[in-house]
Structure 1
Amino acid sequence: MAGDAPGDTDLLRAEALLQTGETSDALALIEDDQAAEAWRLRALAARQANDIPAAARAFARGRNAEGDKTRLYPAEASFHLDTADLAAAGEAVALANDVAPDRVETLFVTARLAQAQGDQVLALAKYLRIIEKTPLDRPALLGAIAASEHTGQPGITRHLIAYGAETRPFDSEFIYQTARVDAWDGNWEAVRERMQAHEAELENHGSARLLYAEALLNLGQVETARAMASPVLARRRDAEAERLRQALEAAS
């Protein structure tokens, strides 16, 4: 890019190479770079290789390095959230908020940490702020749907699902989410029709298959519901699966 310093160009190229899986070439480009951004990329490369200790070391080196850290801290927070180290994630989130509180990446890890700590109100506020800034941000929209549901705000949940379905009409997740709204309204025939129309896209979506089975069960098609749900129930023991398992047993 015109105007970029040589080091900045190498960082951009290295990140692009990491995104295409060319890790060795990416690391070679930044071999002599000791700035915080280079350490962020080394940490990402280690994560791609599933080398958790190396990623942690790279993030730690990045904290002590020179240079801009507005991308380092959220990336480190995301790493710690993924490894369920909430204390370390909290430190990184605090640092991210110190340097760039309204950056999308900072808002996102702040929301994720809040959800992990049970503060769904804060999580919802941060996710909604992301959607204000980047209206088509899918992870933020799904996060906001979950957080609004946990906070008992069905009006917001329904609005967000409708917005997702409008902006992503072919996204299987929002086909499923719209069917959930039909189920909340007790419109099981609408659930069945929607699921049937998109059965191929939802084949590997476990929760959608359970919802489809629940619709069939409520429409009196017990054996078809059992056949639909069985592969998912065989591998899941969560509350959603257990509720349907009990309903199927009661209908036997």
Structure 2
Amino acid sequence: MRNVRILSLALLLSACGTDTADRVARARSEIAGMELAAARVDLAAALAERGDDAELLRLLASVQLRLGDGDGAEATAARLERTGATGAELARMRAEAALLRGRAREALALLGNDATTGGWRVRAAALSAVGDGEGAFRALQSGLAAGSDPLLLRDMARFLIDAQDLDGAQRQVDALARMQDDGFDALMLSADIAARRGRYAQAHATLERAAKRYPRIPDPWIARADAYDREGKLDEAVAMTARAAALAPDDPRVTNLKVEFAAMKGDWEAVRTALARQEATLDPLSANGLTYAEAMLRLGRPEQARAMFQRALTRSPNNPYSRLMLAEAHLATGNAVAALETVRPLAQSLTAGPRELELAEKAARAANSGEADALAARLAAVRKSQVSALAAKGQAALVGEDWNGAIEAYGQLAQMGEDADVLKRLALALSHAGRVDEAIRAADRARTLRPGDPDMSYMAGYVRVAGGKDKATGLGLLRHATESAPDNLVFKRALARYSAAGGA
């Protein structure tokens, strides 16, 4: 009997070993396929069976960090330390975990003088988190100088995309692709850059490759939905969202797309249902926060909508959507005077469309304002005139990087009357076309017309630093824009990108 028990125990232990090996092999395959949540489960199970194996703990921590699970990574690092692990690798792991837990300064302290590519990458992220964009960019540059690292190239590409330096970002992606043929980050970033440039066929082709290479994750389908949304192809975007939902129905990104597209279709009850449980925690300036506020307005709760849009506009005074919707909410609550005051800055712009002018006219008539007839005349003219066509042509040219086409369209608009928004767009197109002096003149004039608008300061600074002229003034203007709108990521990234010596 004793021998039978020993044999049974041996067979059980052998089976456990086989199961553990299978779990580890499956986890490695899942990591290669970017099925990181599944890999985390398998690795945790393998560790429960095998005990604290240092190699598996390192693998689990890398997965947790990639998933943004700072608490899990810190717990794994503590287990790894108990196995006797020490040194820079463990400190770097803990630093990245601290960063993910919102402790950026602790992360910097943990890194110390770590000069590895991984150390520079985490340091850049931590510096960015504490608001030092220039230091973050220099850290990324230092990391690239120290050696080639896929995650570092990924982060530099993302940084440059946010700084609107798409050429620089593409160079990082090309280097990443050379290191990892059909790698996930290279494919996704390449498609993102193509979509931002209006090269949608290229973006979709790249994302189709990504979907075939990584068939069990929703990311390529989510990105295709975003690309179709940029193109204005709503039905196709909804179809791509459904493909993503089939793989990951509870993914917050999928939920966000469903909300966005329901709003575009006018299904406000679906928006309310999807977001009602999040109402207390919704950021008023987030896409979901603004969409939920509009749902309240459309579903007959204008006072609730008014309060939400007021909070959003207070935090971001130059957000045209918040301004337009607050005016509509004021009108719905019977305050026509406030509605007219709110929408007037939008209606006065040469680029004002029918929606802005129609709301302004309606508010003016309800408030018995003498502006109503003039607004009605402008509305009729805009619906027929060249202004709308030129504005649409100019916007399409900017999206497609047809700089000469944008210059032609916005140049004609500028001749019809001075308008800050028109001049800002003209300056951007002139800058990309290499006509730096003209770009500076247009941007400066836009800033004169609207001196308190950080968008105008940004453009006046951007055309200088991007064109290599009067960099000191340009950086000062970018810094002013960033200080005036501290939540604007484009402003911060551009300031960091052009403040740092050299380039990527």
What TM-score comes out, normalization by structure 1 length?
0.74
Which amino acid counterpart does residue 359 of structure 2 have in structure 1?
A: L
* More deviation, 235-244/54-63: 235-244
Cα distance, 1:57–1:125 mapped onto 2, change above 3 Å: same
Deviations 1:80-104 (A, max 9, x none): 2222221332232123212224445
Matches within 5 A, 1:75-114: 75-103=189-217, 105-114=219-228
Q: Distance in 2 between matches of 1:50 and 1:198?
A: 25
Partner of 2:324: 210
The structure with higher relative contact order (CA 8 Å, sep 6+) is: 2
* More deviation, 242-251/226-235: 242-251
Q: Select which of 349, 359, 362 maps to 1:244.
A: 359
In the alignment, is residue 62 of structure 1 matched against residue 179 of structure 2? Answer: no
Q: Distance in 2 between matches of 1:46 and 1:176?
A: 28
Partner of 2:264: 150
CA contact (8 A) 1:13 1:26 kept: no
CA contact (8 A) 2:225 2:241 kept: yes
Matches within 5 A, 1:2-21: 3=58, 10=116, 12-19=118-125, 20=128, 21=133
Deviation, 1:159, is 1.9
* More deviation, 95-104/234-243: 234-243
Q: Select which of 249, 254, 264 maps to 1:132.
A: 249
CA RMSD of aligned residues (A): 3.8
Deviations 1:3-56 (A, max 9, x none): 4798x9855434334432422332333436456555434433543554332322
Which amino acid counterpart does residue 194 of structure 2 have in structure 1?
A: H
Deviation, 1:105, is 3.9
Per the alignment, in what secondary structure is the counterpart of residue 71 of structure 1?
A: helix
Identity %: 15
Q: Which has the higher helix share?
A: 2
Deviation, 1:197, is 7.2
Q: Which runs of 5+ in 1 are unaligned?
A: none
Partner of 2:337: 223
CA contact (8 A) 1:14 1:25 kept: yes
Q: Distance in 2 between matches of 1:103 and 1:12?
A: 26
Deviation, 1:244, is 1.5
Q: Which runs of 5+ in 2 are unaligned?
A: 1-53, 63-88, 94-115, 367-371, 373-504
Partner of 1:121: 238
Q: Distance in 2 between matches of 1:170 and 1:40?
A: 28
Cα distance, 1:109–1:11 mapped onto 2, change above 3 Å: farther
What TM-score comes out, normalization by structure 2 length?
0.41
Q: Distance in 2 between matches of 1:52 and 1:193?
A: 38
Deviations 1:155-194 (A, max 9, x none): 433322324425x245444554333223213343443455
Matches within 5 A, 1:151-170: 151=265, 153-165=267-279, 168-170=281-283
CA contact (8 A) 1:70 1:96 kept: yes
Cα distance, 1:55–1:128 mapped onto 2, change above 3 Å: same
CA contact (8 A) 1:18 1:45 kept: no
Q: Distance in 2 between matches of 1:58 and 1:199?
A: 37
Deviations 1:113-157 (A, max 9, x none): 23234113224325656873444x5xx544322212334544433
Q: Distance in 1 between matches of 2:247 and 2:362?
A: 39
CA contact (8 A) 2:269 2:299 kept: no
Per the alignment, in what secondary structure is the counterpart of residue 84 of structure 1?
A: coil
Which amino acid counterpart does residue 203 of structure 2 have in structure 1?
A: A
Cα distance, 1:232–1:248 mapped onto 2, change above 3 Å: same
Deviation, 1:227, is 0.8
Partner of 2:295: 181
